[in-house]
Each structure stands twice: as structure tokens, then as C-alpha cells.
Chain A
Amino acid sequence: MTNRILALIKARSAKTVAAFMALTFLLSTPCFAYTLPAASPITVLPIDHAKFLAGQKFDFLVEVHDAVSANITVTVNGTAAEQYFGKTAAVKLDKSLASYRIDNVAFKNAGTLEIAVRAATADGPATRAVRYEVVNNVAPKRAKNVILFIGDGMSLQARQMARILSKGITEGRYNDLLEMEKMSNTAIITTSGYDSLVTDSANSASAYATGHKSVVNAMGVYADSTPDPFDDPKVENIVELAKRTRGMATGIVSTANITDATPAAMVAHTRRRSELNTIAASMLDARHRPDVILGGGAQQFLPMATPGSKRKDNRNLIEEFKALGYSFSGSRSELLSTPLAATKLLGLYNLDNMNVYLDREVLKNPTVLGGFDDQPNLMSMTGKAINTLSKNPNGFFLMVEGASIDKQLHVLDWQRATYDTIELDKAIGVAKEFARKNGDTMIIVVADHAHGASITGTYHERDGKTGREAVRIYADSVYPTFEDRDGDGFPDNPDPDVTLAVQFANHPDFNASYRLQQQPTVPAIMANGKAVANPQTQGEFQPGNIPASDPSEVHAADDIILNAQGPGSEYFNGVMDNTEVFFAMARALGLDGKRGLK
């Protein structure tokens, strides 16, 4: 074979030679194969193939199941782990679970590492080897600031719904694109956690914040096997790194409870996202206390004795923040009248999640708003956050979440979800305007997971047909009749004559109406442990196609889209793992994790 090729090389032109060389290479390359990981009684956390920023702090934990002794040998690239990290390990045997733990360590230099573990189990000696990668890449042109926009549950289809409603489509061509679609770089992002194919918002936001995958309901930690939600091994997050290594300003903004999974994952460390009391209090911790905290969820900040509080203690976190110099605002007008000199903001605009844009700014039904009739929109929250954070000469990291895209898709309310996607897009416009003037800011727009919502066609009842027969498919899918005559980016009528037919790949039992629900309405309720169609709704009954234990539409494992612009955004290209969002931010900022390390 080789001889024949060599003979041909002499005879043929360079172009042909190159083609034959490529063919030879392909023929000699073995087919890609993969196997399932072998089961092991030894768990190493961080997990196999974990990637670290050089100097990023983490807790190292080895657990041995079916252990007969606490005698565990751990080496890092052949050196005893205690010697490598310069710290003594805490070793213990609790029944048949042995553990070996060294907290608050870091890998100082880039490269690959092999961790080897030996332990004694009931089935005899066991070994385990895992590999880590440590990086310290710096972008050629560094960004001073990073703004990370997370559209919670904002699948590709959710973005397209926003494009159709916000920009309109004429004879097959969109009249314009969304702000998030007019950015220099695009990547497809995979979202799975290390425990399961389908992720949740805690786990996915944690991947963005730390560069490490975790499990459903967890943030800033790997999950150990004990039930305590606060003892799991931690990994340092972007807010902590930005503060520790460079004294940057940091901020979190969301339309949800500010203790909800996505904003919480930027700062907190817990195995269980529902520990909201603790997450709220954790935001006071100087290591990751954001300078700007704007969102809903005052219920977690008020003392138990205050009506409306969800705390189980009498701490008044609003007063504690104020004592640290934070300007507090509880409404839109208070936010807008915050003193210009303020460098620290706490804004909580609802006891619970903020209302969605459609209810807050368009329909304004007093029953739905429940007294909260002066909530700011995401554009003004984003603008105020940027103005405040940009006073820090060391730069800033800001995360802005459009939270209810997800919450409304969960309840099959694509109209409310879409208005919130448009609201997020307009907030992105505010950030792009800041970046245009300053040129030193990387902006990232990404979802955290997808939903099973699909645009099947359009829906109208012009010919008297209703329900599924009025879902217009293929050539019958005449264009929807949304219009934005006032040019505010939102369609004037959320429920026009011809609307979109949005259908869901997964759903509980529900009654499909295809039309806008005048008030937020859940599709299904729990009755005796089973989700049944909400008896308060009308429409065509659709039997659920997911377990009856869940009364909502659920996340999809579908890949999501990321857009980015500004210094460092060239990192985003092709298909990427969700943890790369962290490494792109660290690279763009040129964060040096070794700074400030003892």
C-alpha cells in the first residue's frame, strides 16, 4: 500500500498527492468508539475530566463505598496528595463509607494531572484514576467587563417566537433580527450535567459560574453522598474569582426571586437549590457579595414576623445590606431615584418572582399584580446595574437573567414567555449600547437549557374551525397578524386573529386552548400525587406524555444557542460544552486565579 502511494507521489501532481495522503490518513485512523464508564466503589470529586482555571479554589474529596478501612492513598501526578497540596487530609470511616478530604486547594499551573486512588473495600483492594485539565488562557485583547445574559429555558424556538412577534416576517423574510442575533460569534452549547442528560437551572448556571458540571438542584458544588446540603465539596465561582483576584464589581439581576437557581448559582454553594433562606443570607458573605442585587423575592429577606416573609428566622437581610452601604429600592420609582453616586444596590421588587412583562406592562390586571403595580422592567434594571458597576475601575461582571421565559414555558404559556424573551432582548440592547461606547466589554447571551416547545404553524378560526383543526400547517400556515405599530419592540396585541401554533413535545394532561390565557393559569394540578388537567381551564383535552408526577412541561435536553460579541468572544465557535462559558469569561478577563492565593 505504502509503496504504491510512494510510486504515485512521484507521478502525480501535488494536488492529487494531497488527496491520496488524506485518504491514507483516513483509512489508517481507527473508527471512533466509546464505552460506558466502569462502575467503581471509589468516587473522586471533582469528577474525571474536570477542567480548572489555574488557581481556582476547590474542595477535593474521595469517597470509598463498601470500605473496610479509612486507609486511602491518593497521589497527584505521582506525588502524595497531602504533599502536593501542602495540606493534611481529613480522613474518616462512617459505617461503610470512607472519605478523604482536603478543602480549599488549587492547581497553580496549567497542564494535565492524573489523580490515582487506592483503597480497601469489602471486595478487596480498589483503584481509581481520574484526569484533570488546568488552563490559564488569556485572550489576545482582554475585556474589562463581562455581561452574561441568561435566557432561562430560552430554546432556539423560544428565540424564534420572539423574532416573529417582535420583528415580524414578510414574504418569508424577517423584517429584522433580535439584538441577541446581531452579535459576532455563535456557538451551539450542550447542557447535560454529570448525573443526567436533562439538566435544571441550578446545575446549568453552576456550569457557567464555575466551569464545572454538577447535578440537578446543585450549584457551586460537586454532590457527595451525604444528605447535608451544605457539606458538599465546593468550587470557586466567577463572582468569587472576580472579587478575589481583581477586586472587580459584580452584580446579579433577575426577574425571578433573586434566590432562584440561576442568580443564586453565580454566588452560592449548595447541593439543594431550595435552601432559599440560606442562599439569601449567603449573599452577605464578603467572598461573593455582589455589589448589585436586583430582582424579586423579598420574602427571603424579611424577618419571619413580617407578613409575607418566608424566612424561618428573624433576620432582616434588607437592613443588613443597608448597614453595609447598599441603597435599597422596592419599586421602579425607587430604583430610578437611587442616588447616582450609589455603588451598591439591593432592589427587590416583589415578595415573590416579579410578574411577567405581559402582566406587568401590558395587561396590568390588579388581581394578577397583587399590589405590585410599580415593578421595573429588565431594561431599566440592566441599565442601572451597568451604570453602578461600571464605576469600579477594575471592571465588572454582571449576570442578567430573563427568568420567566422558563417559568412560562413550564406552564405552556408561550405568549407570556415570548414577551419576556423580547424584554430580555431589549435589555441586551441596553448592554450593547454601553459596549458600543466603551469597546471593552464582552457580552454573552445564552440559554441554560431548552424546552420542548415547537412552532408547528399558525392558528386561526376564520373559517369556523377550532382546536386542532384550526392549527394551520404547511401551506395553510398563513402569516400571523401580530403588529408593532408603536415600535416598542413588543406586538401591540398579544392575541391577534392569526397567532402562532406553538405545540409541546412534552406536557402533562391539559386542556389546549391555543389562545392567550387572560390570567396566568397552570395547565395541570396535583391531585392525589398525579397531575390532572386544571379543571378551571377549557379546551381540547390532551393526555400527558410524561410521568403524571409532574404537573408542568419539563426541560428538554436539546442543545441551545449562544451569541457573543466584544473582546474574547472569538472563543465561541462550533459545538461547545456549557462549562466553556466560564472558561471563555475567565480568558476574556484574563483572570489569574493564583492572585491572592496563599
Chain B
Amino acid sequence: MKRRLIPRLAGVLLWLLLTGNGILGGLQPERAVPGGEPPLSIRRAQAAPFWDAWLRSPATPLAFNELYSGASSLGLELSPKLKSLEGKRVVMTGFMAPPLKPTLAFFVLTQTPMAICPFCSSDADWPSNIILVKLSQPVDSLPFDQPIAVTGMLELGTQVDSETGFVSLVRIQADTVERAD
């Protein structure tokens, strides 16, 4: 355990130095959405360094239509593939829903771009097949209008966020969030 941790810590330290993140401040990201609002780009804090692939297990691609093998009025049936990937690294492509608060260390990944902001509107509701993406630190700018790829450890099981009361079933503890092309 200790042997595996040390190169990781060293990697993180080296990465912090190289990227200047948290020390020199983030770079100015480019604009992605018209209207003069803050620019949308990937925070470097969530981008994985190039040596990451050496340190982590490979990520299995997981698509939204592979999450459930059955659906009925009595609930969704988790697919064998989803269940087999619990605790393993996966990569999923989707859209980031507008967050409840900019300070939250999670966001919701959806299959299609969200017309509604269920966190902000009094009436709107989430679709059934959403992924809660947990981050090591809050994000304040990610593109809502372009697909993003989230890589990280897959978690399953009902969980309630203590701060917001948000209930989730499928989560990714993200190590990388990047634009999907």
C-alpha cells in the first residue's frame, strides 16, 4: 500500500509544480458560449498529468445506454457491465448539468445537454440516468454545452449528499475531466 502511495504523492507534487495550479493561479481559459459570461474551459485542477496513465489502472469506457439492462415501473435494473465495474476506473462521456452552487465539489453528468436546471427551477426534475461526478475540489467553470469525458472510480449504491440532500445511485470519483472530441 505504502509503496503504491509514494509514487502517487510524488506525482501530485511534481504536477502541482509543473502546472502551477494553486500556486501560480489557473490559466485564462478560452470562451465557449456566447453572451459574455465567464469563459468555459476545463479547470486545470481536474486535468490529469501525462504520467497518470502509468500510475492508474486503465479506464473502461462506459456509455449511458449501458448503465441499465432493464427498466420497469418497479425500478431500474443495473446492467451486469455496470455492476462489474464497481470500484474500477471508467470513462464516461456526457454533458455537465449546471451546478447547484459553484462551490460544490460535485456535478451531474447527463446523457444530453440539460434544458432545465433542476437545482435552480422549482419544477424541473432530473432524468433517471444521471451520474454524480465527485471532484477533489470544486469546479467553477466547465462547458455545459459541449461533451466532456469524465474518468475515475465508479461507485454504486444510493447515497444522500449531506449538504444538498441530493440522492445519487451511480457516481464517479473523478480523477480527470476533459473535453471530449
Contacts and interface: CB of A to CB of B under 8 A. Distances in A.
A548 B98 CA distance: 14
Interface in B1-48: 33-35, 37-38, 40
B78 interface: yes
A526 B128 contact: no
B66 interface: no
B160 interface: yes
B74 interface: yes
A525 B114 contact: yes
B115 A524 contact: yes
B162 interface: no
Nearest to A329: B73
Interface in A262-278: 272-274, 276
Contacts of B128: 299, 308, 351-352, 370
A527 B33 contact: yes
Contact of B65 (A272, A312, A367, A552): A367
Interface string B107-131: 0000011111100101101111100
A257 B126 CA distance: 13
B70 to A, nearest CB: 6
A427 to B, nearest CB: 21
Interface string A325-360: 000001100000000000000001111100000000
B71 interface: yes
Interface stretch (A28-36, A383-391, A444-452, A532-540): A532-540
Interface string A429-465: 0000000000000000000000000000000000000
Please report whether the interface of chain A is mostly helix, strand, loop or mixed according to DSSP.
loop
B145 interface: yes
Contacts of B145: 525, 527, 532, 535
Given A525-B145, A548-B35, A307 B169 contact: yes
B122 A529 contact: no
A524 B113 CA distance: 9
Contacts of A312: 160, 165, 167
A188 interface: no
Nearest to B117: A526
B146 interface: yes
Contact of A330 (B33, B68, B72, B144): B72
Contacts of A351: 71, 73, 75-76, 128
A214 to B, nearest CB: 14
A352 B76 CA distance: 12
Nearest to A302: B75
A525 B112 CA distance: 10
Contacts of B72: 330-331, 371-372
A312 B38 CA distance: 35
Given A523-B115, A534-B113, A217 B122 contact: yes
A548 B169 CA distance: 32
Contacts of B167: 304, 309-310, 312
**Size range of the chain B interface in the assembly:** 35 or more
Contacts of A536: 112-113
A522 B113 CA distance: 8
A573 interface: no
B132 to A, nearest CB: 14
Interface string B137-164: 0000001111000000000001010000
A525 B71 contact: no
Contacts of B78: 307
Interface string A111-136: 00000000000000000000000000
A304 B158 contact: yes
Interface string A566-590: 0000000000000000000000000
B71 A371 contact: yes
Interface string A536-552: 10000000000010011
B57 to A, nearest CB: 26
Given A274-B122, A371-B71, A522-B112, 13 more contacts: A274-B123, A302-B75, A309-B158, A310-B126, A331-B72, A351-B76, A352-B128, A370-B128, A525-B115, A528-B33, A528-B35, A534-B113, A535-B145
Which 10 pairs show the lowest CB-CB distances between chains A and B?
Answer: A371-B71, A522-B115, A330-B73, A308-B76, A525-B113, A298-B73, A528-B37, A307-B76, A527-B144, A306-B75
Interface of B: 33-35, 37-38, 40, 65, 68, 70-78, 95, 98, 112-117, 120, 122-123, 125-129, 143-146, 158, 160, 165, 167, 169
28 contacts: A257-B125, A276-B125, A299-B128, A302-B74, A302-B75, A304-B167, A305-B158, A306-B74, A307-B78, A308-B169, A309-B167, A351-B76, A352-B125, A352-B127, A367-B65, A370-B129, A411-B115, A525-B113, A525-B114, A525-B115, A525-B144, A527-B37, A528-B35, A529-B37, A530-B37, A535-B146, A536-B113, A551-B115
